[in-house]
Amino acid sequence: MASKLLASVLLRQTSLRTSHIRTLSTAAVAAVAPPSTAEPYEDPSGISMKGVKISGRPLYLDMQATSPLDPRVVDSMLPYYLSRFGNPHSRTHLYGWESDQAVEAARAQVAALINASPKEIVFTSGATESNNISVKGVMHFYKDKKRHVITTQTEHKCVLDSCRHLQQEGFDITYLPVGSDGIIELDQLRSSIRPDTGLVSIMAVNNEIGVIQPMEEIGKICRELNVPFHTDAAQALGKIPIDVENWNVSLMSLSGHKIYGPKGVGALYMRRRPRIRVEPQMNGGGQERGIRSGTVPTPLVVGMGAACELAMKEMEYDEKRITKLQEQLLNGIRAKLDGVVVNGSTERRYAGNLNLSFAYVEGESLLMGLKEVAVSSGSACTSASLEPSYVLRALGVDEDMAHTSIRFGIGRFTTEAEIDRAVELTVQQHYFTIELATQLFIAGNVLLSKPSPLCVIDVALCRQCCLVVGVIALSLLVML
């Protein structure tokens, strides 16, 4: 079985140059290979999953959830799966030495992208672990003198949950509000800092709305008042220029799979001068300077390093191209639909994140109908909830509009043709949802005009019944 697996991997590697992996999506391979027939494991009659059947793989516009692997990243990783598979912590033979050398090279690649020293980079399993080490690790280390944390209401859920965990331990947490543009007030941050404030944690680019916080100004305030500053930069890495010196950050959380690298790997920047200290959140062999014990996964780390190096070379080009595609998407939708609102600042935002609210429709109904476009209604970590986005509610968006939000994520391999198709499908589904809702409203009024004997008993109950039946019917029709 193992030999068959290795053979299939090698065969797949050599065929990448002449075959196309995902013919109907924004696959990374689309950038380097011409289209051909569908994959052998795909049913020519279509794909069916969770009751939804479509003719091919959907367009991928959910880059904030994850990004496809750049094929150049795959090429860098494969040798460390197949031949150079040594444990980087093995010090007595070639396999360990070459693996360790690859890890250190990747560490330097990550550091270069954020203007840090390789000695300040700690590899983790992802941004969630990096955030936990930063928030809980710092406060646990300084718990005798520092009992206060400042963060924002729009942070990623793993930061908010880490803060709630600290609250249960007796720490005091201040959740800064944001304006309608999603940006904090600097004066409010300054006035919230106390003598016992042990950490300020504010994300650089918001994962739901793409808003960019004033990082240099925040860092300047924290440095002036001698408070450690942590930022979750998972959505910023490789997308906007990052300089840990200009930002004055003490800790920075990074993720591999948001920048066309592999899943399961991330990094934590920890400043050495002035030195920031944390209490490790797990025990083990003392790898990564004792901050994060456990065997470093060489292939994943190499992949993240390669992704960072590519981002450093191509960031400017990607930014210009993605901005153009975002304008094409927004203008295309607004040209045909009224009541389309961009959530968050339109000036201070990452162009690849376009979060829109659509008046007059239910966002979940719109999403259910967009079978051929992979988009989301918010963070992938909280999208299972039917509650409106807490980020949008923090911006002051009313509940109805918050329920209609859709996040379009544009990336390196998104094409103009895919944007045009996404506009077409979004507009079509919007019209269909409006028309269907109108028909259900008319049908409901007909029912109310001739209520059954049971309805006469309680007209209010009748209205609720018609509403429930209408919503169920709408959901079933949209899924057809």
Q: Which of 311, 337, 361 is the last residue of a domain?
A: 311
Q: What's residue 130's pLDDT?
A: 98
In single-letter form, the type of residue at position 88 comes to P
Residue matched to tokens 């991997």: 9
Q: Look at the chain and report how many structural domains it folds into.
A: 3
| Bridge partner list, 356 | 342, 406
Q: Distance between CA atoms of 237 and 47, rounded to whole angstroms?
A: 34
Among 202, 186, 175, 210, CA closest to 344: 210
Answer yes or no: is 361 within a domain: no
Range in 2-16, 82-96, 223-237, 343-357 the model is least confident about? 2-16
Inside any domain, residue 416: no
For the stretch 336-346, pLDDT in tens is: 999 999 999 99
Domain shared by 87 and 166, yes or no:
yes
In the set 158, 222, 308, 381, the catalytic residue is: 381
How much is the pLDDT for 435?
Answer: 82
Residues 333 and 426 sit within 8 Å (Cβ to Cβ):
yes
Same domain, 187 and 285: yes
225 & 141 share domain: yes
Question: What is the pLDDT of the chain when averaged over all its residues?
Answer: 86
Q: Which residue has the higher pLDDT, 27 or 477?
A: 477
Look at residue 179 in the predicted model and tell me its pLDDT. Answer: 98
Report whether pLDDT(19) > 60. Answer: no
Stretch 40-60: mean pLDDT: 70
Q: Which of 279, 296, 311 is the last residue of a domain?
A: 311
Q: Please check whether residues 118 and 228 belong to one and the same domain.
A: yes
13 in any annotated domain: yes
| 395 in Cβ contact with 387 (< 8 Å) | no
One-letter amino acid at 43 equals D
Least confident residue range of 207-211, 229-233, 300-304, 465-469: 465-469
Give 345-398 pLDDT, tens digit per residue.
999 999 999 999 998 887 777 888 888 999 998 655 554 556 789 999 999 999
Q: Which of residues 311, 333, 354 is at a domain's end?
A: 311
Count of residues making up the chain: 480
Task: Please compute the mean of the pLDDT values over residues 201-220 and round it to a whole number.
Answer: 99
Query: What mean pLDDT is predicted for residues 220-247?
Result: 98
The percent of residues in the chain predicted with pLDDT above 90, rounded, is: 71
pLDDT band at 10 (very low <50, low <70, confident <90, very high): very low
Q: Give the CATH number, domain containing residue 179.
A: 3.40.640.10
**172 and 120 assigned to the same domain:** yes
Measure the CA–CA gap between 384 and 62, rounded to whole angstroms: 15
| Structure confidence at residue 469 as a pLDDT band (50, 70, 90) | low
More confident site: 260 or 444: 260
49 and 81 share one domain: no
The answer to whether residue 378 is domain-embedded is no
Maximum C-alpha span of the chain: 86
CB count within 10 Å of CB 309 equals 21
List pLDDT tens digits, range 148-174. Answer: 999 999 999 999 999 999 999 999 999
In a domain, 288, yes or no: yes
27 with 146, same domain: the answer is: no
Statement: residue 211 has pLDDT above 70: yes
Domain membership flag for residue 112: yes
Evaluate if residue 20 carries a pLDDT over 60: no
Regarding whether 201 and 85 lie in a shared domain, the answer is yes
51 and 105 fall within a common domain = no
Q: Are 305 and 107 in contact (CB under 8 A)?
A: yes
**Look-up: residue for tokens 């955030």?**
131
88 and 32 in one domain?
no
Classify residue 297: in a domain, yes or no.
yes
- Dump pLDDT digits (tens) for 79-131: 999 999 999 999 999 999 999 999 999 999 999 999 999 999 999 999 999 99
Whether residue 237 lies inside any domain: the answer is yes
46 and 143 in a single domain? The answer is: no
**Is 158 annotated in the active site?**
no
Domain limits for position 156: 77-311
8 A C-beta contact, residue 242 and residue 254: no
What share of the chain in percent tops pLDDT 70? 79
Q: Does the structure show a pLDDT above 70 at 11?
A: no
Shared domain check, 99 and 50:
no
